Amino acid sequence: MSADGAVITTETKPLVDSFGRRITYLRLSVTDRCDLRCNYCMTEDAVFAPKANILTLEELGAVANAFIARGVRKVRLTGGEPLARRNILALIDALGARVRSGDIDELTVTTNATQLARFAEPLREAGVKRLNISLDTLDREKFAAIARRDALDRVLAGIDAAIGAGLKVKINTVALKDRNIDEIPSLIEWAHGKGMDLTLIEVMPLGEVEEDRIDQFASLTDVRRNLSERWTLEDISDRTGGPARYVRVKETGGRVGFITPLTGNFCDGCNRVRVTCSGELYMCLGQQRRVDLKGALRSGGPAALSSALDEAMRLKPLGHDFEISKRGDGVRVPRFMSATGG
């Protein structure tokens, strides 16, 4: 029995890993497909999971419910491109109801925004309040080179639609050597001018892409040093429940986050796990061990699913061991970010 008198069963006891970290955040990938082909995320000829392996929307809901029963308070839908999954609003509505009933604190979505112009209003109506939107450049040609699709106009229209619908938007920008490093200050000014925070992310060696990772990787230590020569960066303790460390730019009034999986200590307070659209539960973005939730769900139902979560807690590692220090380091984790869910 818990302190408030609720009965604790194996299907409701909190998820705590073997290092004592409580898991309260689920990142659920609803598809591994995408309408873009960002060159650090996937290859142009990316091979996607066969349809039979993909969880149905009902199964994705059942997986989310199993985690919520075990104390998860925040769910992020991701992918691939989550808004590209057919009928995704059905799942978003169902999870939004869990926010409205107080079962979870938040439902969020990470999107490339290409289809956001038509999704912004329905997302808000379903109970989504915040979005993470990925954008690495404001230059149309550079965008087309990085994303391998000419979609910047649609992305910008999607961002404006989200702001117009009253959604709180955070921009995620991957720092890319020789590609967008020079543009980072103007991206920050643009984002802050629209009332959006911007988080910078170091490229991680997830999956083998066409280029060597060392030709993509830029250290955020250097980026931060350059920003601090231009602006006054005030350290702030704001944490949004993730690994980002934030500063406030005194001159713009906005916040910049730094996610430094390669150069910073990242894993100590990890509170999250990731489930792929094929129902594989990854306890760490940077490790290969996984637990098969699809098999548990399809063969044993909710009880088997809950036991699978216990197994995952035993297996969750202390941290990742990413490294990009020499040519060839890019294949340490064979899965693409689009497969695991960013």
Binding track over 176-205 against ligand SAM, x by CB under 6 A = -------------------------x-xx-
277 binds ligand SAM (CB under 6 A): no
257 binds ligand SAM (CB under 6 A): no
Chain centroid offset of residue 56 CA: 20
- How many Cβ atoms sit within 10 Å of the Cβ of residue 272? 20
> Are 123 and 80 within 8 A, CB to CB?
no
User: Which residue number, 137 or 172, has a Cβ lying nearer to ligand SAM?
Assistant: 172
Residue choice 34, 155, 204, 262 for contact with ligand SF4 (CB under 6 A):
34
- Convert 62-79 to b/e letters by CB count within 10 Å (16 or more is b): bbbbbbbbbebbbbbbbb
- What does 278 interact with, of ligand SAM, ligand SF4, none (CB < 5 to 8 A by kind)? none
78 binds ligand SAM (CB under 6 A): yes
Looking up tokens 């998860």 gives 72
Residue choice 26, 28, 30, 42 for contact with ligand SF4 (CB under 6 A):
42
User: Which residue number, 42 or 188, has a Cβ lying nearer to ligand SF4?
Assistant: 42
**Minimum CB distance to ligand SF4, residue 42 (Å):** 5
38 binds ligand SF4 (CB under 6 A): yes
**Minimum CB distance to ligand SF4, residue 340 (Å):** 10
- What does 216 interact with, of ligand SAM, ligand SF4, none (CB < 5 to 8 A by kind)? none
> Are 219 and 262 within 8 A, CB to CB?
yes
Rounded Cα distance between 74 and 237, Å, is 20
Residue choice 60, 68, 70, 81 for contact with ligand SAM (CB under 6 A):
81
When computed from its CA atoms, the radius of gyration of the chain, rounded to whole angstroms, is 20
Looking up tokens 């170091």 gives 202
Q: Which residue is nearest to ligand SAM (CB)?
A: 342
- What does 243 interact with, of ligand SAM, ligand SF4, none (CB < 5 to 8 A by kind)? none
297 binds ligand SF4 (CB under 6 A): no
Which residues within the stretch 61-120 sit at the binding site for ligand SF4 (CB under 6 A)? 79-81, 112
CA-CA distances (angstroms) from residue 130 to 133, 166, 277, 314? Answer: 10, 9, 22, 32
79 binds ligand SAM (CB under 6 A): yes
Binding track over 128-167 against ligand SAM, x by CB under 6 A = ------x---------------------------------
Of 23, 11, 95, which is closest to residue 301 (Cα–Cα)? 11
- What does 37 interact with, of ligand SF4, ligand SAM, none (CB < 5 to 8 A by kind)? ligand SF4
Mode of pairing for the β-strands spanning 255-259 and 197-202: parallel
Rounded Cα distance between 270 and 22, Å, is 8
Rounded Cα distance between 264 and 202, Å, is 10
**Minimum CB distance to ligand SF4, residue 95 (Å):** 20
**Those residues with Cβ within 8 angstroms of residue 127's Cβ, 6 or more apart along the chain or in another chain:** 95, 96, 97, 99, 100, 107
149 binds ligand SF4 (CB under 6 A): no
In the complex, which residues of this chain contact ligand SF4 (CB under 6 A)? Answer: 34, 36-38, 41-42, 79-81, 112, 134, 338
